[in-house]
Structure 1
Amino acid sequence: MKIQENKVVGLTYELKVSKLEDEIESAPFSVEIREEDDPFYFLFGQSGLPEKFEELLAGKVDGEDFSFSIPVDGAYGEPDDELVITLPKSQFSGERGFSPEMLEEGNFLPLMDENGYSMQAKVLKDLGENLLLDFNHPLVGFDLHFEGKIIEVREATKEEIAHGHVHGEYGEHD
């Protein structure tokens, strides 16, 4: 079965990233590995991943290997300075599920937007009463290099299509 709209896709991969700084491309370094004991599953056409990622997988079949790179402009783009903001540290209290260790510089805070969707912010600096947070995607500014294998392609259920995500063992449980 070919990867196309409304198919559930399972894959294993290694993601490496590189960055262009002062006109010199850094050597790609590994940031994520998904192996057969923890594959990545998504609903094709509704993954929330960069469009180019899905474009480069379209038409591939179960068992097929893949290897491709997505430049920064086709991935998560360049950093947006407007997504770096200062918020009162009081918003991240113990009553709201935050510990002091979570607020240390370099950590990612698990948050939800006003619609209940998961998001995260990186703590850039502790400013005393405030925190300087970066809401840019962690892979913003990087070229992405994927190498992996398609391990499953199947029809999505009506519920998966309606909910916009995979259900079951490797998906969400609704």
Structure 2
Amino acid sequence: MRVRKNRVVSIHFRLRLDSGEEVDTSRRRGPLTFLVGHGQIIPGLESELINMEVGDKKNVRVEPQDGYGLKNEALVQSVDREDIPNDIDLAVGAVLRGQSESGNIVEGMITALSEKNVILDFNHPLAGKALNFETKIIGIREATADEISHRHVH
């Protein structure tokens, strides 16, 4: 059986940046299982897995536009320190959670601090970065009708 749309696929993977830094791996928590063709994983990885079979291994490079997108400078914002609650420790690299005007939960990473302002980057942490995956297909099955209609694995 091959990886195709509306099949449930399980993979082991290791994700590294061009620097060699390991960003994520399935070995710590178990395989990644997803429904093919329903936007559950980044498109640049999913397209490279099509037609693979159980046991197949593949190294995949995903460019930013096919991964988490290009970095959007409009998502880097300066916020007055006085608008941030006093009980929050401010440090470069810390992630602050909040709510957007539309009610969605958003996370911004502090990229710079000054006496008056905090610079927050609301881009995905991997936006603008090429992603290097080592993958191995460990399971493929047909999705159930419920999984297809709900657009996720049960």
TM-score when normalising by structure 1: 0.71
Q: Which amino acid aligns with 1:5?
A: K
Give the corresponding residue for 2:2: 2
Unaligned runs of 5+ in 1: 19-26, 168-174
Can you give the 5+ residue segments of structure 2 that lack an aligned partner in the other structure?
none
1:25-74 Cα distance to aligned partner (Å, 9 max, x none): xx432111111752112221123433221110011122221212122343
Where 1:11 maps in the other structure, the secondary structure is strand
Query: Is residue 53 of structure 1 aligned with residue 45 of structure 2?
Result: yes
Deviates more, 1:81-90 or 1:62-71: 81-90
Measure, in 1, the Cα distance between the counterparts of 2:109 and 2:28: 29
CA separation of 1:56/1:81 partners in 2, compared to 1, >3 Å: closer, same or farther?
same
The match for 1:108 is: 95
Counterpart in the other structure of 1:24: none
Which amino acid counterpart does residue 13 of structure 2 have in structure 1?
Y
Report the AA paired with residue 68 of structure 1. V
Residues 100-138 of structure 1: CA deviation (Å, up to 9, x unaligned): 24x53212334565365x653212234567642211111
1:38 pairs with one of 16, 30, 38? 30
Q: Is the 8 A contact 2:34 2:41 kept in 1?
A: no
Pairwise CA distance, 1:92: 6.2
Identity of aligned residues (%): 29
Equivalent residue pairs, number = 153
Distance 1:123 1:164, change over 3 A: farther
Give the conservation status (yes or no) of the 8 Å contact 1:12–1:36. Answer: no
Larger mean Cα displacement after TM superposition, 142-151 or 39-48: 39-48
Cα distance, 1:130–1:144 mapped onto 2, change above 3 Å? same
